[in-house]
Structure 1
Amino acid sequence: MDLPTPIADFVEANARLDIDGMLKPFLRDAVFIDNCKHFAGQAAIRQLFEEEVIPVKAIFTPETVRKEDADVVVEGPAHGDFPGSPLRFTYRFTLVDGAIKTLETTV
């Protein structure tokens, strides 16, 4: 799948459950919107990963990618040790200067 580099880096790090690698593509002031909950800045995003991604081993597997206006929309399942796994997610990325500025996830 032809994903922009910061998105590919995020997905690859997520597959390894590597928090530092997952954070690396994000701008320092990035915002992660997880089902309407906002996490602003890398420290808040790290906490989200530490509390809600790593403990349940949530790994996202992209199946489709498309451009919508200035955003990159990636869809696919996430599997892990959580109720309903796997769940199908939509990840909407806004990229700025080769990095992730905003990531919004919805089920």
Structure 2
Amino acid sequence: MATIEECRSALDKLSDNLAGTGGDVRAAAALDRSLSCHITDLDVTFVGCVEDGRIEVLDTLQGPPREKAEIRLTMTGDDLVAMVGGELHFARAWGSGRVRLEAGFRDLLQLRKLL
């Protein structure tokens, strides 16, 4: 089971990956939205924002998110680490229900370019 530190490191790496992209992917990642990532097996939530193509984690909270972020992710820590490490494809994990992504319709259209 992934630790809180490994999950935080994975989010930092994901942020670096998004910041280093170009073209359509960069445009899709250039949203300015609030973000929460609930890690179910650790029962912690990373809250922050996506801003200028980067993920900025502002706080780590015990339990599920207290406020509804504009982009909400839910998964296990192992799945987060595997996705960022390239061992788990996001679209397959999302399609099978291992990862939940909730956002407004317009944001989902933008985010699908990242898949």
TM-score when scaled to structure 1? Answer: 0.35
**TM-score with structure 2 setting the length:** 0.33
